[in-house]
Amino acid sequence: MADEFRYQRPARRPAGYGMVGVGLALLVAFIFVIDAHPLLIAVTALAIAPALYDLIRGTTATLSLDDTRIAWTTGSRRGEVPLSQIDTARLATTLDFSQRATLILKDGTKLRLPPESLPPGRILDIECEKRGIAHRRSLFSF
DSSP line for 44-113: HHHHHHHHHHHHHHT-EEEEEE-SSEEEEEETTEEEEEEGGGEEEEEEEEETTS-EEEEEEETTS-EEEE
| The predicted structure's pLDDT at residue 95 | 82
pLDDT tens-digit map of 2-51: 688 999 988 777 787 888 889 899 899 988 898 888 898 899 899 888 88
Which residue, 95, 134, 94, 141, is CA-closest to 118? Answer: 94
Give the confidence band of 60 by pLDDT, cuts at 50, 70, 90: confident
Q: Among 26-35, 43-52, 77-86, 133-142, which is the least confidently predicted range? A: 133-142
> What's the rounded mean pLDDT across residues 118-137?
89
Using only the alpha carbons of the chain, give its radius of gyration.
19
**Distance, CA of 4 to CA of 17 (rounded, Å):** 31
Query: Residue 85's pLDDT is what?
Result: 95
Q: What is the pLDDT of residue 1?
A: 61
